[in-house]
Structure 1
Amino acid sequence: MASQPQPQPQLLLLLLLLLSTITAAINPGTSLYANNSKQTWASPNSTYSMGFLPADPPTSPPTFIAAVAYAGGVSIWSAGGINNIAVDSGGALHFESTGNLRLVNGSGAAVWSSDTGDLGVSSLDVGDDGNLVLNNGSATVWSSFDHPTDSMVPSQNFNISKVLRSGLYSFGITKMGNLTLKWNNSIEYWTQGLNSSIRNNPWDPKSVVTITTNLSSPSLALQSIGILSISDRNLPTAAIAAYSSDYAEGSDILRFLKLDSDGNLRIYSSARGSGTKTERWAAVTDQCQVFGYCGDMGICSYNDSFPVCGCPSQNFELVDPKDSRKGCKRKVEIDDCPGNATMLDLEHTRFLTYPPEYQAQVFFVGISTCRLNCLVSGSCDASTSLSDGTGLCFYKTPGFLSGYSSPAMSSRSYIKVCGSVSPNPLPSSQNVGNSKKWKIRPWIVAFVVLTTLFSLMALEGGLWWWFCRNRPNFGGLSAHYALLEYASGAPVQFSYKELQHATKRFKEKLGSGGFGTVYRAVLSNKTVAAVKQLEGIEQGEKQFRMEVATICSTHHMNLVRLVGFCSEGRHRLLVYEFMKNGSLDSFLFNTEGNSGRLLNWECRFNIALGTARGITYLHEECRDCIVHCDIKPENILLNENYCAKVSDFGLAKLIDAKDHRYRTLKSVRGTRGYLAPEWLANLPVTSKSDVYSYGMVLLETVSGKRNFEVSAETNHKKFSVWAYEEFMNGNIQNIVDKRLVVDQDVDMDQVMRAVQVSFWCIQDQPSHRPMMGKVVQMLEGIMEIERPPAPKAAPEVSISRNASSNASALSSAATSAAPAQSSFSSFQTTGTPLASEKA
């Protein structure tokens, strides 16, 4: 028998060294020092490491925190506890021989300890999941995952016994499955989850609706792709609580949950080695609604789009002039007041009132009574009247006051101050001795003043005309001032500088789509508007103005009105009327921040019908048929009365023709599920393409689910295919949104009509689909609806971000669509009969 080859001693030694490097643990008696940032305890693949990082924000002289950090230096856990205790440059982290982990300052004083000195700890490990573990050889004695500070990473188990803390703020999950943010462990200012208290009016405690689900041991998990979900053994599947905005994008990206010092809970993402973090989701969208953000008696407001803190009036002063977030104090306390106390009137201001304050501090009284009752009560320090006709009044007992001020608020608040509130000083009077002359001959003075004003105005106007008459944009300026009168109904021409000012330099983003980004604006006449900054516009000035004029000529109650436009150089912007309730998608789909936005069936059906009427006007009632090309819930906006208005119509013609196909393919990622098959089959796009998109939107309106969703509930089939099978089996109630009470609130006859119409609209052959006018008649019940044939699943193309992938996708889509092209061309234009009029 041949002898087996023996391994070389050098190779064995190399393997042993490599194995010891991978599995090596930190032994007791090892230390890290703040003045040596390069010294760390790293995980096997160096994804995480334990070491010292500079304090954030930086201090002078510099201080450091002992933290577990992701590759690049983003902290996910700190040894200083919930307050991120920092040490000076002489500080150290000692893994003592007793097994205790101890953080000391430069003086040697201990500032934090793991308290594991007598538990037999023999080694320390930093795992590739970010968990810092103290072991006794066979079991885990202590771990950072069991003692979280302000952050949570994927693979970290977070149950009802765990709490994230940052200063006075805390975050946790309750036994009922609710995620909650609290101030000082008492004021619950945000909640979301399976059993959240959903308030139709967040300031009305009587509008609370509680959803109850029996849970045994709920836990929270953050997936590496950016999904925050709640799990429990009594739930068939995990309930999604939030999505990261960069969901499933990129590789080597850490997404982590963090409770920031401002009291807001956020999901961040950090690319490996970058050392930076980017906000991807926030629990509280309005930072000023975080309780205590500006400290006691501080008032939160906005400067442009950033929250700022201030005091109620000059009767108060900042506790710390260097940090306005530490709150305010009265210059003279009420107990030290030499005279009587009075109430300071604060317009457009509200003192935040959250549970459990509702039960004891809410009354239904008039505005003046709300003020006076607090003034005479020793147990009341301030009060807020909503001033919206409800009669709601909130009394605030002495303790902690957190205020929010905004010009959009109708509420009025009052706070006790010592003595009278001093008004602003009036301008000092001059020439008092000459007052007699004013009384004797006032007409002389009036004549001189008016003559001077008119002369100056005439001089200024003449100079302006002389210097500007030969400027190329002089005619545009003249047209602008003529259009401001709105007499002709023509669109107003705005300058780019005006819209920059109206949008606060494009700070407040409302949304974005295939044609550009939309921003909130306040025009010079104080009207709130939405400004869309168009992208990919290559048309000349004259052609652009003609297309804008065409859009403005369309007037219908179910179309968003175009107010004006801007065309300066490369800048192309459209100004629309503002829709208070946003887009339909925020009400239909249960995404982060929208769990309480639920439309009843009556409202949904009216929205579907209104949308159909708006599209019908574009297709059949305009002088020229306008094909929308991008019907989806995001482009259906709702006004204050939840009246549906279609937006972005006519914009497809503004895109340069040679770029049209590229733009369409590029936008597949944003509107997948709504594109008709002819888009991807390189066939002519007609108004029937809008009908297909509307059918998908109608099905989503009924179900509250995205039409392209695939889940266990749909037997892993595309939702539209599964829904048709349920329809054929007579299980129409299974298609209806589960959040609606079918037996009480839903008109099943309307549901049946809507579902059948949606299946007719999403037929693969354009000629099988009805015209939008027929769709309206079928929804209204004027026409009977025959049973629709099964719709085919539309082909989908995965589009990457580079041009070569786009070209490849286009080629493959055209190839796969070749048989469909043949069937389209041979099909008769009459198609299958859709409906017959009632006798």
Structure 2
Amino acid sequence: MAGQVLTGGNKLISSNSKFALGFFQTGSSKSSDNTTLPNWYLGIWFNTISKFTTVWVANRDKPITDPIFKLSELRVSRDGNLFILNKVAKSMIWSSQIENRPKSSRNTSVVLLDDGNLVIRDASNPSNVWWESFNHPTDVFLPGAKIGWNKITGQKYSFTSKKNSKDPALGLYCMELDPSGARQYYDMLCNSSIVYFSTGEWNGRYFNSVPEMSSNVLFDSKFVDNDEEEYFTYTPFDETVITFCLLDVSGLTKQLIWVEELQDWETVFIKPKALCDVFSVCGPFTICNDNALTLCNCMKGFSVKSPRDWDLDDRREGCTRNIPLDCSSNKITTGLTDKFFPVPSVRLPYDAHSMETVATAHECMQVCLRNCSCTAYSYDKSGCSVWHDQLINVKQYNGTTNTNEEILYLRLASAEVPNWGHNRREKIIAVAVGASVSVFSFMAFILLLMIWRSKRRSRDYPMNKIKEGAGIVAFRYADLQRATKNFSEKLGGGSFGSVFKGILNDSTTIAVKMLDGARQGEKQFRAEVSTIGMIQHVNLVKLIGFCCEGEGCLFMNIW
């Protein structure tokens, strides 16, 4: 009601206890004297699970820091607005900004509904809702919420990713209904026309580009189009299921389900399937590789620009040059020492400029070299293409048969490019040394090959079973050490374990979850595998195997 306040550790809890509204802390800011201060936000989170998970944030771009937080409170004003107030400075930090509220209505109530929707409504007539958080979503699409727009007011119900894993500020990626009127929604780069994933049009039962929805056993999906609104929504058939859809920091759309046995979230749906298909997921001057243990790497001659942001999955700044180009300090373009480094088997960068009058590869190189802003070129049967300034959205194909593979020639300072012109004497010495050991090396190779083939018959058993579609396979711990390069690339983690990226012998990329052995025994672990196996479905991330040796228990999903 008007005049009531919420401060500090107080919470507003839904009647079913599933959700809570209150202040929470994540990330930090620097004060004027360079002191690190915690950031506080008003938000909604799941109240009944062990892993703190927010679903809505009010002041995502305006964190509250100490000592201002201790002086702040959430209030309902006399005009019915919900706002965060600095009670000493009497300044407003955030407001619901309700418009067109009937002046005749004096009684206001703020209620957190059982579906996680925060509403401001007429206390005497609850059907009169003046504002709701479902119409102002952040990065989480809860069951019962909408993605679409209001035809009367023009307001969009769209989602925007977080800046990074700790900062809920607006990120790079948006999820919204197709503005052209087609019944589909997009994942796209915010404030642009660049779409990297589309659901395809709604055919009455499912989206055409998401055919797995046709046999959906988890959710009841609907597309609503009436005189007032057009939107897509969904609800789980089982009301006890705790689930939500997330547009994550890296631009992926994920459906997550809470697994009580794991005390953690499991991903059951992900689009696009390949993370490198997300536009500019690694930032400028990087190469994305879905089949490598490290997804994003700087191009040769470049280093990560902001390591702190990079470690928090915010790669918008990408990489920066180690050595400036000769062109940057030499305004005369003749006699430049810049060179070009070939990057084979890639998807070429975004925003190429076609040089239609150029007829040879050498001429294409010279065109780029003569322009100080030119950072790369490519020449193929389609002709000459050059790029200026930042290079973004480059994907490594790793020698696959993809027909879009090209060679990109990256412009670097001469000191960054290796010298392939070794003198004659060095070559002769190299050939002589190579020949002197060739016979011995060949014999040693034959012996090692025989040993390796003998070991592989037993070692590759689980891998072969995956190819044969043998269902859930029991892996050896040594197999998983090898696949993950001794668990060297951590994808994430929680209170009950960590997730690592790995690659099987057949180039299948997997996610390996290592559970905390001190908290989970083998009996509980096998029960958990059985639980996940029972909900295996075409739109779930596939569980392919598990391992439980010694104190460690692990399971493997297709990544």
TM-score by length of 1: 0.41
Q: Could you say which structure has the higher strand fraction?
A: 2
Give the direction of change, closer, same or farther, for the CA distance of 1:76–1:89 in structure 2 (3 Å limit).
Answer: farther
Cα deviations by residue, 1:785-824 (Å, 9 ceiling, x for unpaired): xxxxxxxxxxxxxxxxxxxxxxxxxxxxxxxxxxxxxxxx
Check whether the contact 1:270–1:277 (CA below 8 A) recurs between aligned residues.
yes
Inter-partner Cα distance in structure 2 for 1:273 and 1:49: 23
Take 1:576 and 1:273, find their aligned partners in 2: how far apart are those partners? 30
CA distance in 1, matches of 2:42, 2:216: 25
1:74 aligns with 2:53: yes
Tell me, in whole angstroms, the C-alpha distance in 2 between the residues paired with 1:668 and 1:298: 38
In the other structure, the counterpart of 1:420 is 414
The question of 1:185 aligning with 2:176 is answered no
Structure 2 match to 1:310: 297
Q: For 2:475 and 2:309, how far apart are their aligned partners in 1?
A: 34
Cα deviation, residue 31, structure 1: 3.1
The C-alpha deviation readout for 1:79-118, integer Å capped at 9, x for no partner, is 124x584645752441233333223679966443212388
Residue 80 of structure 1 aligns with an amino acid whose one-letter code is N
Check whether the contact 2:143–2:233 (CA below 8 A) recurs between aligned residues. Answer: no
Larger RCO (CA within 8 A; separation ≥ 6): 2
Report the residue type matching 2:84 in the other structure.
Answer: L
Do 1:154 and 1:224's aligned partners in 2 also have CA atoms closer than 8 Å? no
Larger radius of gyration: 1
SS in 1 for 2:199: strand
SS of match in other structure, 1:336: helix
In 2, Cα distance between equivalents of 1:367 and 1:516: 54
Deviation string 1:168-213 (CA, Å, 9 cap, x unpaired) is 21011212122211113222111122189xxxxxxxxxxxxxx999
Per-residue deviation, residues 374-421 of structure 1 (Å, max 9, x unmatched): 555678544456x7xx7487654545623223423542223444x435
| Secondary structure at the counterpart of residue 320 of structure 2 | strand
1:382–1:396 Cα contact (<8 Å) kept: yes
Residue aligning to 2:456: 494
1:287 aligns with 2:284: no
Query: Against the structure 1 CA distance between its residues 56 and 420, is the aligned structure 2 distance closer, same or farther, given a 3 Å change threshold?
Result: same
Q: Distance in 1 between matches of 2:201 and 2:37?
A: 47
Q: Distance in 1 between matches of 2:94 and 2:17?
A: 26
Q: Which residue of 1 aligns with 2:329?
A: 337
By how many angstroms is 1:282 displaced? 1.1
Q: 1:336 to 1:480 in 2, by over 3 A?
A: closer
- For the pair 1:403 / 2:394, whether they are aligned, the reply is yes
Whether the 8 Å contact between 1:347 and 1:412 is mirrored in structure 2 is yes
1:826 matched residue in structure 2 = none
CA gap of 1:106–1:288, structure 2 versus 1, over 3 A, is: farther
CA contact (8 A) 1:298 1:401 kept: yes
Q: Is the 8 A contact 2:341 2:417 kept in 1?
A: no
| 1:231 counterpart residue number | 223
Q: Which residue of 1 aligns with 2:22?
A: 51
Q: What letter corresponds to residue 414 of structure 1 in structure 2? A: Y
8 Å contact from structure 2 (residues 202, 223) kept in 1: no
* Residues 190-205 of structure 1 mapped to structure 2, 5 A cutoff: 190-194=197-201
User: 1:576 and 1:494 mapped to 2: Cα distance?
Assistant: 11
* C-alpha distance in structure 1 between counterparts of 2:355 and 2:143, whole Å: 41
Question: Quick one: which of 265, 271, 295 aligns to 1:277?
Answer: 265
Q: Establish whether residue 140 from structure 1 lines up as the match of residue 140 from structure 2.
A: no
Of 286, 291, 309, 1:323 maps to: 309
- Structure 2 residue 74 is matched with structure 1 residue 94: yes
- Tell me the matched-pair count: 424
2: distance between equivalents of 1:273 and 1:322? 34
Name structure 2 gaps, 5 residues minimum: 31-35, 150-155, 162-170, 480-503, 509-530, 539-559
* Correspondence 1:350-369 to 2 at 5 A: 350-353=347-350, 368=361
Decide whether aligned partners of structure 1 residues 48 and 336 sit closer, same or farther in structure 2, where only a CA change above 3 A counts. Answer: same
Partner of 1:543: none
Offset, 1:327: 0.8
SS of the counterpart of 1:277? strand
Match of 1:153 in 2: 142
Shift of 1:516: 3.3
8 Å CA contact 1:65, 1:87 repeated in 2: no
State whether residues 88 and 105 of structure 1, in contact with CA within 8 Å, keep that contact through their aligned partners in structure 2: no
Aligned positions of 1:638-657 closer than 5 A: none
Report the counterpart of residue 252 of structure 1 in structure 2.
240
Q: Secondary structure at the match of 1:402?
A: coil
**TM-score of the pair, normalised by structure 2:** 0.59
SS of aligned partner of 2:134: helix
CA contact (8 A) 1:367 1:391 kept: no
Could you give the per-residue CA deviations for residues 458-499 of structure 1, whole angstroms, max 9, x where no partner exists? 9x99xxxxxxxxxxxxxxx98971895xxxxxxx65165678
- C-alpha offsets along residues 601-642 of structure 1, whole Å, 9 cap, x if unaligned? xxxxxxxxxxxxxxxxxxxxxxxxxxxxxxxxxxxxxxxxxx
Per the TM alignment, residue 294 of structure 1 is displaced from its structure 2 partner at its CA by: 1.7
Higher percent of residues as helix: 1
> How far is 1:298 from its partner?
2.6
Structure 2: which amino acid aligns with 1:101? L
- Hey, what does 2:344 align to over in structure 1? 347
Partner SS, residue 323 of structure 1: helix
Q: Distance in 2 between matches of 1:179 and 1:97?
A: 36
Inter-partner Cα distance in structure 2 for 1:328 and 1:422: 15
Q: Matches of 2:437 and 2:283 in 1, distance apart?
A: 52
Q: Which string of whole-angstrom CA distances, capped at 9 and with x for unpartnered residues, describes residues 760-791 of structure 1?
A: xxxxxxxxxxxxxxxxxxxxxxxxxxxxxxxx
Q: Distance in 2 between matches of 1:42 and 1:151?
A: 19
Give the aligned CA root-mean-square deviation in angstroms: 5.7
SS at match of 1:194: coil
What is the deviation of 1:576?
9.9
Residue equivalent to 1:164: 159
Pair 1:265-2:253 in alignment: yes
**Residue in 2 that maps onto 1:30:** 4
The residue identity in structure 1 corresponding to 2:318 is: G
Q: Which amino acid aligns with 2:174?
A: S
Query: Partners of 2:358 and 2:263 in 1: how far apart?
Result: 54
C-alpha distance in 2 between matches for 1:271 and 1:667: 8
Q: Say if 1:515 and 1:162 are closer, same or farther in 2 by CA, change over 3 A.
A: closer
Give the superposition deviation at 1:372: 5.4
Aligned residue number for residue 95 of structure 2: 113
Q: CA deviation at 1:300?
A: 2.4
- Structure 2 distance, partners of 1:189, 1:311, is 22
Q: Which amino acid aligns with 1:30?
A: Q
Partner of residue 167, structure 2: none
Q: CA deviation at 1:56?
A: 6.7
Contact 1:124 1:135 in 2 (8 A): yes
Q: Give CA-to-partner distance per residue, 1:296-343, whole Å, 9 cap, x none.
A: 223223585452x332122x3332133332312234268623253554
Change (3 A) 1:374 1:457: closer
Is 1:481 the counterpart of 2:476? The answer is no
Report the Cα offset of residue 133 of structure 1: 0.7
Q: Distance in 1 between matches of 2:21 and 2:434?
A: 80
In 2, distance between residues paired with 1:287 and 1:667? Answer: 24
2:40 to 54, 64, 70: 64
Q: Cα distance, 1:267 vs. partner?
A: 0.8
1:370 CA drift (Å): 6.2
Paired residues for 1:675-824 under 5 Å:
none
